[in-house]
Amino acid sequence: MNQQTSHTYHEITSQPAAWAEAAQVVQQHTAQLEAVRLKDYSQVLCIGCGSTYYLGLATAALLQTMTGRIARALPSSELVWYPAGAYPGRAERSLLVSLSRSGATTETVRAVEAFRREGRGEVISITNYPESPLASMGDVNLVIPAGREESIAQTRSFASMCVAATGLSAVLAGDRTRLGSLAGLRPAGERLLRDYHALARQWGEDSQLSQFFFLGSGPRYGLACEASLKMKEMTLSVSEPFHFPEFRHGPMSMITPQTLVIGLLSDAARSIEEAVLEDMKALGGRILSLAEDGADVAFASHLPELMRGVLYMPVLQLLAYFRSTSRGLDPDRPHNLSKVIELKV
């Protein structure tokens, strides 16, 4: 596929502009978000489907870390068909953060409708399509049109919503300094795409690789899940995500010289995470690391750790893109997938 005609390639490489819009949208809604009183809620629920469920995992970990309030993520369908497992009690109130690229995914729309109907609490929606149902269903609606996509696999949209969710977390934590740091993401992202384009292509076009494992802990676990999903969707490859220490508890039995282990390294637990990568290298696996500095992909962003999660995504998305095209696949139209899941039941 020609890069000039590929929607996926354009959406990956243009995403820093969408990040800037996402940061601006959060800034514009700061007063509304600050009016949300976390102390009124027993928990924050982050919901989505597919990629946005994984974004929910990252967001919930970030929210709880930054605010100290209980936050968890569930697939939207759990609130529709298994609500007893979502709420601690009828009298307990929850803050709902609903995530959807299209804003029209059936399970997410129905989950928000049920949440509203039952009077469980306030809703914050994050989406990319202003005309969608979800874009007007929240008490606060964060809409990022620059994240819209032609491709089926989410890249720019996921990243733009990730920035919005990161900003949301900072506002709910009452941390305007961290919120202001989002302005530094765009130049950092543009540099990553420029400096590591060749590296992503090198790994993506390596025909010796047959399986991929993405490791990330804390807020990075949800990002590892999403990066793994991109590899599955675009390339039809064996790809799985794990928390760093968990990979030693069984999954490392899969390591071969044809394995690429990709580590989304943190600052706080870096020595432990690097030890896992070294163990996998000793078993014959190949290693690719991403971190703020001293890694194969170094962000050099000088941003607070909790605010730079989106920087893990562009190079890994490019890696999946190049693997897809090198295998003769169409990354714009992954096998068996459609852009929006709308159910009839």
Give pLDDT tens digits for 289-326: 999 999 999 999 999 999 999 999 999 999 999 999 99
Give pLDDT tens digits for 121-149: 999 999 999 999 999 999 999 999 999 99
pLDDT at 249: 96
pLDDT > 90: what percent of the chain? 92
User: Token pair of 227, please?
Assistant: 């990066």
Flag the least confident range among 22-31, 90-99, 163-172, 320-329: 90-99
Closest listed residue to residue 244, CA positions, set 278, 213, 217: 217
pLDDT at 227: 98
Residue 158 has pLDDT above 60, yes or no: yes
pLDDT band at 337 (very low <50, low <70, confident <90, very high): low
Average pLDDT in the chain: 95
Bigger pLDDT: 5 or 314?
Answer: 314
Flag the least confident range among 1-5, 82-86, 181-185, 265-269: 1-5
pLDDT at 334: 74
Fold classified for 3-184? Rossmann fold (3.40.50)
Residue 335 has pLDDT above 90, yes or no: no
pLDDT band at 333 (very low <50, low <70, confident <90, very high): confident
289/245 Cα distance (integer angstroms): 15
pLDDT at 4: 62
Give residue limits of the domains in the chain.
3-184, 187-326
Residue 26 has pLDDT above 90, yes or no: yes
Question: What's the CATH number of domain 187-326, 1.10.40.30, 3.30.450.20, 3.40.50.10490, 3.30.1360.200?
Answer: 3.40.50.10490
pLDDT band at 336 (very low <50, low <70, confident <90, very high): low
Give pLDDT tens digits for 184-226: 999 999 999 999 999 999 999 999 999 999 999 999 999 999 9
pLDDT at 245: 97
User: Residues 114, 146: contact at Cβ < 8 Å?
Assistant: no
pLDDT at 89: 76
pLDDT band at 1 (very low <50, low <70, confident <90, very high): low
Q: Do domains 3-184 and 187-326 have the same CATH topology?
A: yes
User: Token pair of 116, please?
Assistant: 């509203």
User: Residues 64, 56: contact at Cβ < 8 Å?
Assistant: no
Give pLDDT tens digits for 219-267: 999 999 999 999 999 999 999 999 999 999 999 999 999 999 999 999 9
SS3 sequence of the chain: CCHHHCHHHHHHHCHHHHHHHHHHHHHHCHHHHHCCCHHHCCEEEEEECCHHHHHHHHHHHHHHHHHCCCEEEEEHHHHHHCHHHCCCCCCCCEEEEEEECCCCCHHHHHHHHHHHHCCCCCEEEEECCCCCCHHHCCCEEEECHHHCCCCCCCCHHHHHHHHHHHHHHHHHCCCHHHHHHHHHHHHHHHHHHHHCHHHHHHHHCCCCCCEEEEECCCCHHHHHHHHHHHHHHHHCCEEEEECCHHHHCCHHHHCCCCEEEEEECCCCCHHHHHHHHHHHHHCCCEEEEEECCCCCEECCCCCCHHHCHHHHHHHHHHHHHHHHHHCCCCCCCCCCCCCCCCCCC
> How many residues comprise the chain?
345
pLDDT band at 23 (very low <50, low <70, confident <90, very high): very high
pTM: 0.95
pLDDT at 340: 54
